[in-house]
Amino acid sequence: MKNLKKAIALMAAFAVAASVLLAAPTVKAEWEGAEKAATLEGEIQYMHSGDDYEREMYAGVFASYMELAPNVKVEQMYVPSDYYTKLQTLASANSLPDLFWMGESGIRQYYEAGMLYDMTPYLEEYPQLTEDIIDGVLDYGNFDGKQVAFPKDWTSYVMFLNLDLFAEAGVEVPTNDWTVDEYKDIAAKLTKMTADGKRVDVYGTAINNYRADWINWMGNFEAEWFKDGKSNLSDEKALQGLGVMYDLVQAGSAPSPGTVSSTGDSEDRLFIIGKVAMYPTGRWGIPSFRAECDFEWDAVEMPKGTTRVCPFICSMVGIASTTKNPDAAANVLSYQMSDEGLVQVMGSALSLPVYNDLMANEDYCNTPPSAEPFINSAAYLGSDSQLAAAQTGKWSEYNSIIYSNLSDAFEGNVTLEEAAKNIDEQANTTLFAD
Amino acid sequence: MNNATTVKRGLTLRQKEAITGVVFIALPLASLLVFMYYPIIRSFIISLYEWNLLTKPTFNGIGNYQTLFKDKVFLTSLWNTCRWVITYVPMSVITSFLLALLLDQKLKGAGFFRTLYYLPVVAPIVVVALLWVWIYNTDYGILNFLLEKIFHLDPIGWLTDSRFSLFAIAVMSVWKWAGYNMLIFLAALQGIDDSIYEAAELDGVTAWTKLIYIKIPLVMPSIYFVMLTAVIDAFQMFTEIFIMTKGGPGYSTYTVSYYLWSCAFEYSKMGYACAMAAVMFVIILVVTLIQNKVMDRQVRYDV
């Protein structure tokens, strides 16, 4: 009897192990830094933001790293809110953690203050870091030929679709090759009024007064919206791009951002509750959509203008120049960026790997929604204007100028042309005067 | 023989009391110096520098101040702040005073209404702001619904139309804070001796005359205090804007405090933000001194 129980227990254990192994994600390449990790020692502080889910994911990454580097202790500094204020405070006190996250547009200030370690030699030591990396993503962390920050991931900007609303309205679901004109047309068809005809019940689409939207739409019309170190939103092509957002609001196919915020809500919530049929946003929206949408949904690429540009939205990782243990810090980064490290993070679908080969792998770019729009957008990621504006180190204030003036236009207080003129005038006389 | 007031260690009672007094005030004095006066002085010094927190501050003289008065956003913010003070302070003081007058009547249930009017004060500002965001909602808000039903008015974008946004927030703030000043006024009104009213009634004065010649003069110290603090608070208005409009649409609800916060913590322009704080300090000081001069004549503490 005892033997039978033992046999059953063994079989059960085997079944569990087999299922875990079968379900385990495929790690394409062995991590190249394992041998060195075993020889390293010391303590590394790693500071990052994000939600509680991300905190847990990174806790997992650090735990598995520490198994390979038994003499290295990674201290996770998780900052759920006011991340950049806290980072600046630490920088000001000369107490930066060894590794920390920064937005793709906020690196210059840290670089100019000499606070970032030049990790260029480590790119040579760990070739896997840059092997098959998506074109252009390294540029955002490269200053004067020095790689001072590394893109840990990126997030594609796509259009999410409520398929039930399409079916209800009898409108054909767009495919990845759709155009801006088709988008406007579909948005109008999907917009539904309330029974009394006085208010909009379901909006065809929504816009965000947010950098990803501006960069996407202006880029889709080949606009050089930041040119020769100056703001250039009055450019005809930039106006054409921003005009897509403006026209949708004017036509009533999309709520103005002010209207949405005056509900105390946000555009993504409206999509989740079925009040917006098509919603452009980044991959970060997927976990909420998966958990909360009680309708069929999918995603397609953003509609094409004269071309396509996907904004580069990313968190970069920097190593503090004050680190006492750059070797261990680089080793941790190398592990985080390895297939083994990334697979623990990408399952969440919050972001995408910066490596082309991993983009096509379901374990790193999982579904739903369809992976194709995300994979395709890697081919047109970023633009010269975005890179130049990001590297001025003044993006935050420039961003605020654009936001404030465009909000005035979207609420109908000024025309789009007036708003763009104000933006250029204000930015070029204050921020980019020299 | 030792003096009765001399203690064993040679200290007199007076000296001992003096030491005790110094010890007692040392902690609050130290915290006042460290957390109040030092930051104020330091802020003035930083305002003369360009400093992004990351690099070493570079001396800029009065450069930040010169830039400030050419900065359209600052000038708009300053104008909005003045509009806010002019709109909010009278609305707030008058509403509070009227509520206090109502509650000063010896009516049944006055305690209930006092609690009711005070409730918004204890409600978190975030909750209140979100509540009013819904009241003001263009399409589904109750305010527009009532205006449409009663006056057949088209929906008004209370928070999205730059003509109304600042006023709309002011109304919300009055609702939120009226109960606080109301209590101060009520305490003052209830402190008036009944014999004064009785004497006035014997002379046959009307309720209006009683208000003008008895109540207002006698609560003037409270009015003075409320006006002073309301003006100072109004100049520093930030939270409501931050939650409800983020300064928009456009720059229509940008106030100096909001712009100052943006410069300091979003754009990392600490020197510039400190220059703004210094200008605000001077403005508030001047306005307070003027208020002091004008209102002090009206205030009598000896009644």
Cβ distance B136 to A262 less than 8 Å, yes or no, reads yes
Distance from CA of A142 to the nearest CA of B (A): 19
- The pLDDT assigned to A27 comes to 53
Close Cβ partners of A83 (under 8 Å, ≥ 6 residues apart): A49, A101
Residue of A nearest to B157 (CA): A259
Same domain membership, residue A231 and residue A346: no
DSSP reduced 3-state for B125: helix
A289 Cβ neighbours under 8 A, 6+ residues apart: A160, A271, A272, A297, A369
Confidence check: pLDDT of A111 > 80: yes
Does a structural domain hold residue A111? yes
Give the other-Cβ count within 10 Å of B167's Cβ: 15
Q: How confident is the model at residue B285 (pLDDT cuts 50, 70, 90)?
A: very high
Give, as one character, the DSSP assignment of residue A373.
Answer: H
* Mean pLDDT value of segment B274-291: 95
* Token digits of residue A361: 């792998």
Question: What pLDDT, on a 0 to 100 scale, did the predictor assign at position A197?
Answer: 83
Q: Which residues of B touch A426 (CB under 8 A)?
A: 72-73
What does the DSSP assignment read for A152-203?
A: --BB-EEEEEEHHHHHHHTPPPP-TT-BHHHHHHHHHHH-EE-TTSSSEEEE
In contact, A277 and A340? CB cutoff 8 Å: no
Peptide bond into B217 cis (omega under 30): no
Per-residue pLDDT at A263: 73
Check residues A167 and A194 and name the one with the higher pLDDT: A167
Residue A94 has pLDDT above 60, yes or no: yes
Q: Give the minimum alpha-carbon distance from A84 to chain B in angstroms, rounded to a whole number.
A: 9
pLDDT band at A152 (very low <50, low <70, confident <90, very high): very high
What does the pLDDT look like over B53-110, one tens digit per residue? 888 999 999 999 999 999 999 999 999 999 999 999 999 999 999 999 999 987 788 8
**Number of domains making up chain A:** 2
**CA distance, residue B250 to nearest chain A CA (Å):** 4
- Judged by DSSP in three states, B141 sits in coil
Same domain? A293 vs A349: no
A384 assigned to some structural domain: no
CA distances from A377 to A132, A214, A314, A373, B6 (A): 16, 16, 14, 6, 88
| Nearest residue to B168 (alpha-carbon basis) of B211, B136, B129, B121 | B136
Q: Is the dihedral of CA B77, B83, B88, B90 positive or negative?
A: positive
Q: Model pTM greater than 0.90?
A: no
Are residues A205 and A285 both part of a single domain? Answer: yes
Q: Which token pair is A317? A: 């990782």
Residue A1 pLDDT class (50, 70, 90 cuts):
very low
Question: Which of A410, A413, A429 to mutate to test binding with chain B, by most B CBs within 10 Å of its CB?
Answer: A413
The CA–CA distances, whole Å, from A315 to A103, A112, A137, A327, B281 equal 5, 19, 11, 21, 39
Is the domain of A258 the same as that of A289?
yes
Range with lowest mean pLDDT among A29-38, A98-107, B284-293: A29-38
Mean pLDDT of chain A: 90
What confidence tier does A198 reach under pLDDT thresholds 50, 70, 90? Answer: confident
pLDDT tens-digit readout, B185-229: 999 999 999 899 899 988 888 989 999 999 999 999 999 999 999
Instruction: CATH number of the domain at A264, please.
Output: 3.40.190.10
Q: How many CB atoms lie within 10 A of CB A337?
A: 25
Using the Cβ of A89 and the Cβ atoms of chain B, whether some distance falls under 8 Å is answered with yes
DSSP string across A385-432: HHHHHHTTS-HHHHHHHHHHHHHHHHTTSS-HHHHHHHHHHHHHHHTS
Residues A167 and A146 reside in one and the same domain: no
Q: Would the ipTM clear 0.90, i.e. be above it?
A: no
Residue B303 carries which DSSP code?
Answer: -
Same domain? For A329 and A211 the reply is no
Last residue of a domain, one of A378, A404, A422: A378
Residues A135, A203 within the same domain:
no
A264 — contact with chain B (CB < 8 Å)? yes
Q: Are B136 and B143 in contact (CB under 8 A)?
A: yes
Q: Answer yes or no: are the C-beta atoms of A348 and A287 closer than 8 Å.
A: yes
pLDDT > 70 fraction of chain B, expressed in percent and rounded: 96
Domain assignment of residue A13, yes or no: no
Per the prediction, chain B carries an average pLDDT of: 90
**Quick one: pLDDT at residue B297?**
73
Distance between alpha carbon A191 and the CA centroid of its chain, in Å? Answer: 28
- Domain annotation covers residue A23: no
Token duo for residue B220: 């003037």
Whether A16 shows a pLDDT value over 90: the answer reads no
pLDDT at B105: 86
Q: Can you tell me the mean pLDDT for A43-51?
A: 94
Cross-chain residue pair B54–A88, CB shorter than 8 Å? yes
More confident residue, A6 or A406: A406
Same domain, A226 and A326: no
Q: Which pLDDT value is given to residue B299? A: 72
State whether A280 and A254 are in the same domain.
Answer: yes
Q: Token pair for residue A62?
A: 């650090």
Are residue A290 and residue A187 in the same domain, yes or no?
Answer: yes
| CB-CB under 8 Å, A110 with B267 | no
The residue segments making up the domain with residue A101 are 31-155+313-378
Best of B139, B144, B156 to disrupt the A interface by mutation (most A CBs within 10 Å)?
B139
> Both A203 and A249 in a single domain?
yes
Residue A9 belongs to a domain: no
CA B12 to chain centre: 46
Chain B hits for A408, Cβ within 8 Å: 162, 248-252
Q: So what's the pLDDT on residue B300?
A: 65
Place of tokens 């009040």: A275
Query: Which residue of A256, A397, A430 is in closest CB contact with B160?
Result: A256
CB contact at 8 A, A411 and A210: no
Asked if A404 and A187 count as a contact pair (C-beta separation under 8 A), the reply is no
Same-domain check for residues A301 and A179: yes
> Are B170 and B88 contacting, i.e. CB atoms less than 8 angstroms apart?
yes
- Which residues make Cβ contacts (< 8 Å) with residue A179, sequence separation at least 6? A303, A304, A305
Distance from CA of A31 to the nearest CA of B (A): 35
Structure tokens that stand for A188 in this block? 């109008």
pLDDT at B1: 44
Helix A339-346 crosses helix A326-336 at what angle (to 10 degrees)? Answer: 60
Mean local confidence (pLDDT), A382-408 = 93
Segment among A15-19, A215-219, B107-111 with least mean pLDDT: A15-19
Sign of CA dihedral B31, B35, B38, B40: negative
Asked if residue A171 is part of any domain, the answer here is yes
- Residues B71, A430: C-beta atoms closer than 8 Å: yes
Three-state DSSP string of A266-332: CHHHHHHCCCEEEEEEEHHHHHHHHHHCCCCEEEEECCECCCCCECCECEEEEEECCCCCHHHHHHH
> Is A92 part of the contact surface with chain B (CB cutoff 8 Å)?
yes
- Cβ-in-10-Å burial (0-12, 13-18, 19+) of A24 comes to exposed
Q: Is residue A22 part of a domain?
A: no
In a domain, A14, yes or no: no
Residue A218, classed as helix, strand or coil, is helix
Measured in angstroms, the CA of A16 and the nearest CA of chain B are apart by 49
Which domains can be identified in chain B, with CATH numbers? 69-296 (1.10.3720.10)
Q: Give the dihedral of Cα atoms B156, B160, B165, B168; nearest 10 deg.
A: 50
